[in-house]
Chains A and B, each alone.
Chain A
Amino acid sequence: MLKTFSLGGVHPAENKFSAGQKIAVLPVPEQVSVPIAQHIGAPSEPIVKKGDEVKVGQLIAKSSGFVSANIHSPVSGKVFKIDDILDASGYKRKAIIIKTEGDEWDASIDRSEDLKTEITASPEEIIKKIGDAGIVGLGGATFPAHVKLSVPPGKTCEVLILNGVECEPYLTADHQLMIEKGDEIMVGTQILMKALKVDRAIIGIENNKPDAIKQMSELAKNYAGISIQPLKVQYPQGGEKQLIDACIGRQIPSGKLPIEVGAVVQNIGTTLAVYEAVQKNKPLFERVVTVTGKSVTKPSNFMARIGTPMNQLIEAAGGLPQDTGKVIGGGPMMGKALVSTEVPITKGSSGILIMPKEIAKRAKMEACIRCSKCVSVCPMGLSPYLLMTVSDKAVWDRAEEEKIMDCIECGSCSFTCPANRPLLDYIRLGKGKVGQIMRSRTK
Chain B
Amino acid sequence: MNVVLITIISLGVLGALAAIILYFVAQKFKVFEDPRIDQVEEVLPAANCGGCGFPGCRAFAEAMVKSDDISALNCPVGGADTMKAAAEILGKEVKAADPMVAVVRCNGTCENRPRIAEYDGATSCTIASSLYGGDTGCSNGCLGLGECVDACAFNAMYMDKETGLPVIIEDNCVSCGACVDACPKNIIELRKKGPKNRRIFVSCVNTDKGAAAKKACSAACIGCKKCQKICPFDAITVENNLAYIDYNKCKLCRKCVAECPTNAIHIVNFPPPKPKVEKPAEAKAE
List the interface of chain A (C-beta within 8 A of B). 84, 86, 89-92, 336-337, 339-340, 360-362, 422, 425-426, 428-429, 432
The 10 nearest A-B residue pairs measured at CB:
A90-B133, A425-B122, A422-B122, A89-B132, A91-B133, A90-B132, A339-B117, A91-B139, A425-B127, A429-B127
In the assembled complex, how far is the CB of residue B248 from the closest CB belonging to chain A, in whole angstroms? 31
Query: Is B10's CB within 8 Å of the partner chain A?
Result: no
A432 close to B130 (CB less than 8 A) = yes
In the assembled complex, how far is the CB of residue B131 from the closest CB belonging to chain A, in whole angstroms? 7
In the assembled complex, how far is the CB of residue A38 from the closest CB belonging to chain B, in whole angstroms? 18
B130 close to A339 (CB less than 8 A) = no
What are 18 sample pairs from A and B whose C-beta atoms fall under 8 A apart? A84-B208, A86-B133, A89-B132, A89-B133, A90-B117, A91-B132, A91-B133, A92-B208, A337-B131, A337-B132, A339-B132, A339-B135, A340-B116, A361-B120, A362-B121, A425-B121, A425-B127, A429-B124
In the assembled complex, how far is the CB of residue B274 from the closest CB belonging to chain A, in whole angstroms? 41
A362 close to B130 (CB less than 8 A) = no
In the bound assembly, the distance between CA atoms of A350 and B176 in angstroms comes to 47
Note all chain B residues with C-beta closer than 8 A to A336.
131
Chain B, 107-126, CB within 8 A of any chain A CB: 116-117, 120-122, 124, 126
A362 close to B133 (CB less than 8 A) = no
Note all chain A residues with C-beta closer than 8 A to B120.
360-362
In the bound assembly, the distance between CA atoms of A428 and B127 in angstroms comes to 8
List the interface of chain B (C-beta within 8 A of A). 116-117, 120-122, 124, 126-127, 130-135, 137, 139, 208-209, 212
Interface hub of A86, A339, A429 (most chain B Cβ within 10 A): A339
By beta carbon, the residue of chain A nearest B131 is: A89
In the bound assembly, the distance between CA atoms of A337 and B132 in angstroms comes to 9
Q: Do A422 and B121 form a contact, CB below 8 Å, given A92-B208, A339-B133, A429-B130?
A: yes
Note all chain B residues with C-beta closer than 8 A to A426.
122, 124, 127
Q: Do A339 and B121 form a contact, CB below 8 Å, given A90-B139, A91-B139, A429-B126?
A: no
Q: A89-B133, A92-B208 are in contact. List 18 more A-B contacts (CB 8 A).
A: A84-B212, A86-B133, A86-B137, A89-B131, A90-B134, A90-B137, A92-B139, A337-B132, A339-B135, A340-B117, A361-B120, A422-B127, A425-B124, A426-B122, A428-B127, A428-B130, A429-B126, A429-B130
In the bound assembly, the distance between CA atoms of A211 and B282 in angstroms comes to 67
By beta carbon, the residue of chain A nearest B208 is: A92
In the bound assembly, the distance between CA atoms of A84 and B209 in angstroms comes to 10
In the bound assembly, the distance between CA atoms of A289 and B258 in angstroms comes to 52
Note all chain B residues with C-beta closer than 8 A to A86.
133, 137
Note all chain B residues with C-beta closer than 8 A to A90.
117, 132-134, 137, 139
In the assembled complex, how far is the CB of residue A419 from the closest CB belonging to chain B, in whole angstroms? 13
In the assembled complex, how far is the CB of residue A91 from the closest CB belonging to chain B, in whole angstroms? 4
Note all chain A residues with C-beta closer than 8 A to B132.
89-91, 337, 339
In the assembled complex, how far is the CB of residue B151 from the closest CB belonging to chain A, in whole angstroms? 11
In the assembled complex, how far is the CB of residue B105 from the closest CB belonging to chain A, in whole angstroms? 19
In the bound assembly, the distance between CA atoms of A91 and B212 in angstroms comes to 12
Note all chain A residues with C-beta closer than 8 A to B133.
86, 89-92, 339
In the assembled complex, how far is the CB of residue A424 from the closest CB belonging to chain B, in whole angstroms? 9
In the bound assembly, the distance between CA atoms of A340 and B134 in angstroms comes to 12
In the bound assembly, the distance between CA atoms of A362 and B134 in angstroms comes to 18
Note all chain A residues with C-beta closer than 8 A to B116.
339-340
In the bound assembly, the distance between CA atoms of A336 and B120 in angstroms comes to 13
In the bound assembly, the distance between CA atoms of A52 and B131 in angstroms comes to 35
In the assembled complex, how far is the CB of residue A239 from the closest CB belonging to chain B, in whole angstroms? 21
Note all chain B residues with C-beta closer than 8 A to A92.
133, 139, 208, 212
In the assembled complex, how far is the CB of residue B145 from the closest CB belonging to chain A, in whole angstroms? 12
Note all chain B residues with C-beta closer than 8 A to A340.
116-117
In the bound assembly, the distance between CA atoms of A32 and B122 in angstroms comes to 34
In the assembled complex, how far is the CB of residue B219 from the closest CB belonging to chain A, in whole angstroms? 19
By beta carbon, the residue of chain A nearest B134 is: A90
In the bound assembly, the distance between CA atoms of A422 and B128 in angstroms comes to 12
By beta carbon, the residue of chain A nearest B138 is: A90
Note all chain A residues with C-beta closer than 8 A to B127.
422, 425-426, 428-429
By beta carbon, the residue of chain B nearest A83 is: B209
By beta carbon, the residue of chain B nearest A432 is: B130
By beta carbon, the residue of chain A nearest B117 is: A339
In the bound assembly, the distance between CA atoms of A336 and B130 in angstroms comes to 12
In the bound assembly, the distance between CA atoms of A360 and B117 in angstroms comes to 13
Note all chain B residues with C-beta closer than 8 A to A360.
120
Note all chain A residues with C-beta closer than 8 A to B208.
84, 92
Interface hub of B116, B127, B135, B208 (most chain A Cβ within 10 A): B127
In the bound assembly, the distance between CA atoms of A86 and B134 in angstroms comes to 12
By beta carbon, the residue of chain B nearest A431 is: B130
In the bound assembly, the distance between CA atoms of A69 and B51 in angstroms comes to 45
Note all chain B residues with C-beta closer than 8 A to A91.
132-133, 139
In the bound assembly, the distance between CA atoms of A336 and B133 in angstroms comes to 13
In the bound assembly, the distance between CA atoms of A428 and B208 in angstroms comes to 28
